Structure 1
Amino acid sequence: MIPELVFATNNNYKTKEISALLEGQYKVLNLSDIGCTVDIPETGSTFAENATLKSRYVVENYGIDCFADDSGLEIEALNNEPGIYSARYSGNKNDQENLELVLEKMKGLSNRKANFRTVVSLIKDGQVYLFEGLIYGTIRRTPSGEQGFGYDPIFEPLGYDLTFAEMSMAEKNAISHRALAMQKLIAFLKVQAAASQSGYQPLRYLKIS
């Protein structure tokens, strides 16, 4: 039987992305699958803090080991905004309004450098593990593409002439910030399992950049 992991998110697109990455290794459940309808507060000052707040909420209230991510777009010319406020940059959790605000603030700016960052927090057996993924790129002047979500239509990863929204899920999963963080999580789970079988104890707190 394939083991289950709870992903502390209500975002179905994120769930599909992660399910595709973990296909055949884990069955990924999200918050709705475990009956959690709470919009878990993200009051931290960093991606790591917010991700851990979400994973800890599930562990403390549902008694289920899980992982959570916090991701955001960091734009050099905007002092790394929107950063941890990416999902509600406009004051609302509205992808289109957030995207439009970024484009408005970027008007007339020649520096289009940006990066997407993800931190995944895994709480397993009472221990916290963090995994980070980072991808560099530029901000387009106009949106392009129908796939993805959030800022995907205006983010062009370095070395590509497509936005994330112009890529298939498989193409995006091969290079995205979330995929990179998840790949580290998957590798760690395998190492932890092997260490457990050998009698070694994993580190209590681990950050993999």
Structure 2
Amino acid sequence: MQRKLVLATRNRGKVREFEELLAPLRLEVYSLLDFPGLSLPPETGRTFEENALFKARLVSSWLGLSALGDDSGLEVEALGGAPGLYSSRFAGEGADDARNNEKLLRLLEPYPEELRRARFCCVLALCTAQGDTYTGRGFLEGFITREPRGREGFGYDPLFLLPEWGKTLAELGPEVKNNISHRARAVRDLWPVLVKVFEG
């Protein structure tokens, strides 16, 4: 039985998270960082699910291996669900985390705390070496702070406050984050399929 899985991403933060989340399966986990000649084309899907499936199918077809595609983003209520699908490029193509965070804080500056509600969304798509596809979903509710807090995590983690913890995701550290994050919840949603595919 094949024990190899390719993560359809070059995001080092995501790779670290997935390696920890998938560790109990004892798989050989790779990512696009291991295949410098491969690069994903721009995302054109209209939903997180379309983008995740596109990545998984494309990478699986390239390599003949099972692939896991992830599309995730931040939806802010006061901004009508933005940045949403455009979370990674909210401040423009090639924007880094700092610029995306700065734009978000600038847009939300007029809003009081109670109107800064947000949620992280994650859709995972698994495409097996045989071409079968499966999806899983995870969500995490919170609020956007007025300034970055914490040094752990990546993306919008320093701005995403979890009221029940009184901390941002970037203040909680990987041990807690990998239990409660939207990505962790999506992995749990997909877990029965992962076990079936790789441990059958």
Contact 2:4 2:65 survives alignment (8 Å): no
1:31 deviation in Å? 0.8
Corresponding residue of 1:118: 122
Q: Structure 1 stretch 158-167 or stretch 113-122: which is displaced more? A: 158-167
Q: CA deviation at 1:40?
A: 3.0
d(CA) in 2 for partners of 1:79, 1:50: 20
- Post-superposition Cα deviations, 1:79-132, rounded to whole Å, max 9, x if no partner, equal 000000000001133111110000000011120100000000111121111100
Tell me the equivalent position of 2:45. Answer: 44
1:72 and 1:118 in contact (8 A); partners too: yes
| C-alpha deviation, 1:36, in angstroms | 4.2
- Cross-structure match for 2:135: 130
Aligned to 2:57: 56
Instruction: Give the share of equivalent positions with the same residue, in percent.
Output: 40
Indicate the residue corresponding to 2:186 in structure 1: 181
TM-score (norm 2): 0.91
Measure, in 2, the Cα distance between the counterparts of 1:185 and 1:28: 16
SS at 1:81 equivalent = coil
Aligned residue identity for 2:184: A
Q: Which residue of 2 aligns with 1:5?
A: 5
Which residue of 2 is the match for residue 203 of structure 1? none
Equivalent pair of 1:43/1:50 in contact (CA under 8 Å) = yes
**Runs of 5+ consecutive residues of structure 2 not aligned to the other structure:** none
Structure 1 residue 158: deviation in Å?
4.0
Counting only pairs closer than 5 Å after superposition, residues 23-172 of structure 1 correspond to structure 2 as: 23-25=23-25, 26-92=27-93, 93-110=95-112, 111-124=115-128, 125-172=130-177
Give the match's secondary structure for 1:57. Answer: helix
Q: 1:19 to 1:193 in 2, by over 3 A?
A: closer
Q: CA deviation at 1:2?
A: 8.9
Q: How far apart are residue 155 of structure 1 and its match?
A: 0.2
Give, in whole Å, the separation in 1 of the partners of 2:37 and 2:13: 17
Q: Distance in 1 between matches of 2:183 and 2:196?
A: 20
Distance in 2 between residues matched to 1:32 and 1:98, nearest whole Å: 23
Aligned residues of 1:76 and 1:114 also touching (Cα < 8 A) = yes
Give me the TM-score of the superposition, normalised by structure 1: 0.87
Aligned equivalents of 1:183 and 1:50: distance in 2?
20
Contact 1:2/1:24 (8 A) holds in 2: no
Report the residue type matching 2:13 in the other structure: Y
Residue 23 of structure 1 aligns to a residue in which SS? Answer: helix
Q: Relative contact order, CA 8 A, sep 6+: which one is greater?
A: 2
Q: What CA distance in whole angstroms lies between the structure 2 residues aligned with 1:169 and 1:157? A: 15
Q: Secondary structure at the match of 1:22?
A: helix
C-alpha deviation, 1:57, in angstroms: 1.3
RMSD over equivalenced CA pairs, Å:
1.8
In structure 2, what is the equivalent of residue 199 of structure 1? none
- Shift of residue 53 of structure 1? 1.2
Post-superposition Cα deviations, 1:32-90, rounded to whole Å, max 9, x if no partner, equal 22444314321111100111111111122222220110010000000000000000001
Compute the displacement of 1:174 (Å): 0.7
